[in-house]
A and B are shown apart, each in its own frame.
Chain A
Amino acid sequence: MHKIAEVEVQHDIMVANRKLARKNQKMLDNNQVYAVDVVGAIGSGKTTLIEALIDAMDHSIGVIAGDVISKYDAGRFEKHEVPVVGLNTGKECHLDAHLVEHAFHDLPLGDIDLLFIENVGNLICPVDFELGSHMRMVVISVTEGDDTVEKHPLIFQDADLVVINKVDLADAVGADSDKMVSDVKEINPDVQVIKTSLKTEKGFDEVMEAIEIFINQD
């Protein structure tokens, strides 16, 4: 004879990641490290922006370079002589709190005060995974098309700072960067949106200042 029993499980996979993320943030706080999760579209300029920030900001910076194959971006950051950990996500399209925790073990957290965590280029999956960072910067560019924001609203809803890059190319690709700004504002009215061109350095100082303000608020 068999009997059927109902078992209450109540195990939220998302909560499990969020708990790990909180643990990560505690570890960062204990080491007085401020962490910025940099998410954005493929090829929008995340790596280039972080490289420029490393060179320009007056901080001891470390980088976690997350990518499907991370060695390419990690190699670029290493040239700026900062501690770098490459995280290969392999089949996965996003970093999660567990992977980031692993990277902490390979970073000299005591020697840095600002950590950039470059996520995998993707505007969808990272939405579901907090990492334990203190702020999230979303980087997109006009070359992805000026409907990018409308098509991926949730990542902008959670953003603390939005960068619209490559605005020098807007005319060439027929994109309206003002529309992209107003699309972000419609989803997340209070977020600061900065138009940049890392080629001409337009808007770069503003990005740096915005991050400094977040760090000082913390």
Chain B
Amino acid sequence: MHELSMAEAIVETVLDVAKKNDAQEIVEVTIEVGELTMLNPEQVRFLLGVLAEDTLLEDAEIIIEEVPVEIKCRNCEFTGLANTDGSDHYLAIVLCPKCDERNVEILKGRECNVKTIKIEKSDEDA
């Protein structure tokens, strides 16, 4: 369970950027979480809520976008979205959709990216 350390890093990043941009409040945070990370988005969301208390982040809407897996197949050179089996949970085994090979290079799906934040600032600062 490393969602807590990830959530801490996210909060630190967001508050840092907000401060640098003279935010009075953070309205919205968009985070990208790759399908291949060992992060459960709902746990991340819960922990962000806990860590946000008494900070500029307290009332922000948290948007978590799950990033699907993109691959380059080492067998047939296919590049694009992967097939992921094991659909009963989110721990995907990655397959090439063209040749069904598992020997693939992962291009996307491993990120935990703070993408954007929406902040409220006073007109004088703007």
Chain A interface residues toward B at CB < 8 A: 1-16, 91-94, 96, 124-125, 127-129, 152-154, 157, 186-190
Contact = CB atoms under 8 A, between A and B. Distances in A.
B13 A6 contact: no
A2 B119 CA distance: 10
A9 B17 CA distance: 7
- Interface of A, helix, strand, loop or mixed by DSSP: mixed
Contacts of A3: 120-123, 126
Contacts of B14: 9
A91 B7 CA distance: 14
A9 B115 contact: yes
- Count chain A CB atoms within 10 A of each CB in B5, B10, B17, B123 and give the residue with the most: B5
A91 B3 CA distance: 12
A11 B6 CA distance: 12
- Counting contact residues on chain B (CB < 8 A from A), the size range is 35 or more
Contacts, number: 107
Nearest to B30: A9
B13 A189 contact: no
B114 A9 contact: yes
B103 A5 contact: no
B111 A15 contact: yes
A55 to B, nearest CB: 33
A187 B37 contact: no
- Count chain B CB atoms within 10 A of each CB in A9, A127, A157, A190 and give the residue with the most: A9
Given A125-B2, A188-B102, A189-B102, A7 B94 contact: no
B122 A2 contact: yes
Nearest to A96: B5
Contacts of A188: 102
14 contacts: A2-B123, A4-B27, A6-B117, A9-B115, A9-B117, A10-B116, A12-B112, A13-B10, A15-B111, A128-B39, A128-B112, A153-B92, A186-B102, A189-B102
Nearest to B39: A128
A19 B68 CA distance: 22
B43 interface: no
A10 B114 contact: yes
B113 interface: yes
Contacts of B39: 128
Contact of A190 (B36, B103, B126): B103
B13 A125 contact: no
A4 B118 CA distance: 7
Given A4-B120, A10-B115, A128-B2, 20 more contacts: A2-B120, A7-B18, A9-B114, A9-B116, A12-B111, A12-B113, A13-B10, A14-B110, A14-B113, A94-B2, A96-B5, A125-B2, A125-B38, A128-B110, A129-B2, A153-B86, A157-B93, A157-B102, A188-B102, A189-B102
